[in-house]
């Protein structure tokens, strides 16, 4: 099988490519250049797009003895991932750019180009498993599952890829017992990235200052910080810089009568207001979402099913009853955020969660299996679990 191995310049992608070579695939390595300006990349491997990463990827390809190319995907990255990041914050939502990068770049732009060039699949260094399950008709159903190493599991950010792309994906590290084992394997293979630090933060925010990045791109938009009753408690320079659950940096000029801390409860972009209140108002047990990507064709729409949901990349799953249907944002009553393009989904939680913001990715699991992904539109309190 002809396999395109995405080489980020880190240890995970290098070992994944090596394992693809080991099983006999015809492997070609490619590094994705995501910025036209090298100055926008950060140093020290704090993100996945640092200046030295392309060189590290090339050295890994040399050790593995595979061809190596750099593909310029900067235009696609700016037009999809960065543009989505800015528009979501401007609309009062909290996006996850890694989810969008996996959707639009790693498993869309990269895979589409690879298929056009005759490749059969894309291999990446993500920690997740693909399981082929007999479907009872002589065929097999391909499922996305959590990685063997639950600490490093990345199925949350991969759930958005969709069934068609899942068919052409390879995750060679899915059964790796730990990151330490992967590093040891890299060292044994003579890969110089074996001790390279993990990447983190947002790769296109060069200095790690997300609020500063938003201010530079979106400009100053002064408005009021209010309580749940509409009383003005302070001012802000841009509602986009706040997210639900935030406690610090609220700029309040009037302390709470009871002296308790206050948190961001809601961001209202149309009114240009940030609403704050006590911590107990952050707890929610009913999540409404749309733009659903469903991977489990054997789980029907319109019915409540027992599942677990995860709302943060490194969060704990929570038991819930979940139902998906054909509703979009307009019918979900989202306060005018605009109609969505995918089916709706509702999750009623057995245990309330705190600080859930519109725009977050909600991933539905059944044990280790990923059933689907949806984007949260609204979170509310007081819903009873359906029978």
User: 131-180: per-residue pLDDT in tens?
Assistant: 999 877 878 899 999 999 999 999 999 999 889 999 999 999 999 999 99
DSSP letters for 164-231: HHHTTEE-TTTT-S-HHHHHHHHHHTT-GGGGPPPP-S-TTSTTS-HHHHHHHHH----EEEE-TT--
Domain containing residue 338:
282-380
Q: Is the pLDDT of residue 368 over 70?
A: yes
**Range in 137-141, 283-287, 382-386 with the lowest mean pLDDT:** 382-386
pLDDT digits (tens, 9 = 90+) for 209-256: 888 899 899 999 999 999 989 999 999 999 999 999 999 888 888 778
- Long-range (24+ apart) CB contacts under 8 A made by 335-340 are 335/378, 336/270, 337/91, 337/92, 337/93, 337/377, 338/91, 340/290, 340/291, 340/375, 340/377
3-state secondary structure of 35: coil
Highest-confidence segment of 27-41, 222-236, 331-345, 371-385 = 222-236
Inside any domain, residue 94: yes
pTM comes to 0.88
Catalytic residue ranges: 101, 203
For residue 50, which of 183, 202, 157 has the smallest C-alpha distance? 202
Kindly state the average pLDDT of the residues 179-185: 97
Q: Are 307 and 254 within one domain?
A: no
Q: Are 264 and 301 within one domain?
A: no
pLDDT digits (tens, 9 = 90+) for 47-72: 455 667 889 999 999 999 999 999 98
Inside any domain, residue 26: yes
Give the model's pLDDT for residue 51: 61
d(CA 157, CA 101): 9
d(CA 147, CA 378): 30
What is the pLDDT confidence band of residue 371, given thresholds at 50, 70 and 90?
very high
Q: Are 77 and 158 within one domain?
A: yes
Q: Are 148 and 176 within one domain?
A: yes
Q: Are 9 and 43 within one domain?
A: yes
Share of the chain above pLDDT 90, in %: 65
Q: Are 310 and 336 within one domain?
A: yes
Give the model's pLDDT for residue 378: 92
Domain of 255, CATH number, reads: 2.30.30.280
Q: Are 57 and 186 within one domain?
A: yes
């Amino acid at each position: 099988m002809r396999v395109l191995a995405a080489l980020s310049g880190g240890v995970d992608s290098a070992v994944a490519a090596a394992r693809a070579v080991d099983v006999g695939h015809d492997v070609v390595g490619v590094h994705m250049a995501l910025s036209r300006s090298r100055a926008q990349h950060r140093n020290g491997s704090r993100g996945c797009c640092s200046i030295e990463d392309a060189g590290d990827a090339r050295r890994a390809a040399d050790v593995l003895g595979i061809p190596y190319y750099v593909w310029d995907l900067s235009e696609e990255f700016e037009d999809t991932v960065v543009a989505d990041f800015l528009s979501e914050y401007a609309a009062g939502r909290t996006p996850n750019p890694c989810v969008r990068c996996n959707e639009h770049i790693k498993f869309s732009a990269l895979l589409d180009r690879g298929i056009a060039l005759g490749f059969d699949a894309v291999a990446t260094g993500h920690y997740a498993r693909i399981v082929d399950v007999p479907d009872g008709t002589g065929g097999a159903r391909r499922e996305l599952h959590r990685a063997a190493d639950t600490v490093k599991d990345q199925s949350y950010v991969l759930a958005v890829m969709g069934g068609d792309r899942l068919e052409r994906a390879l995750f060679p590290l899915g059964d790796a017992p730990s990151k330490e084992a992967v590093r040891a394997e890299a060292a044994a293979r003579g890969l110089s990235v074996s001790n390279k630090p993990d990447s983190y933060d947002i790769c296109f925010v060069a200095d790690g200052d997300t609020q500063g990045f938003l201010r530079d791109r979106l400009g100053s938009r002064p408005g009021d910080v209010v309580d749940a009753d509409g009383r003005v408690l302070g001012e802000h320079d841009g509602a986009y810089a706040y997210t639900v659950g935030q406690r610090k940096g609220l700029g309040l000029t009037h302390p709470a009568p009871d002296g308790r801390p206050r948190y961001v409860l809601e961001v209202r972009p149309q009114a240009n207001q940030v609403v704050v209140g006590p911590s107990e108002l952050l707890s929610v047990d009913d999540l409404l979402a749309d733009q659903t990507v469903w991977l489990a064709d054997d789980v029907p729409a319109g019915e409540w099913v027992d599942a677990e949901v995860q709302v943060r990349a490194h969060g704990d799953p929570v038991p819930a009853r979940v139902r998906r249907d054909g509703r979009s944002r307009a019918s979900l009553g989202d306060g005018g955020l605009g109609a969505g393009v995918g089916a709706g989904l509702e999750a009623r939680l057995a245990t309330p969660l705190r600080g859930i913001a519109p725009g977050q990715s909600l991933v539905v699991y059944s044990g280790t299996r990923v059933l689907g992904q949806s984007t949260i539109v609204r979170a509310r309190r007081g819903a009873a679990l359906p029978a």
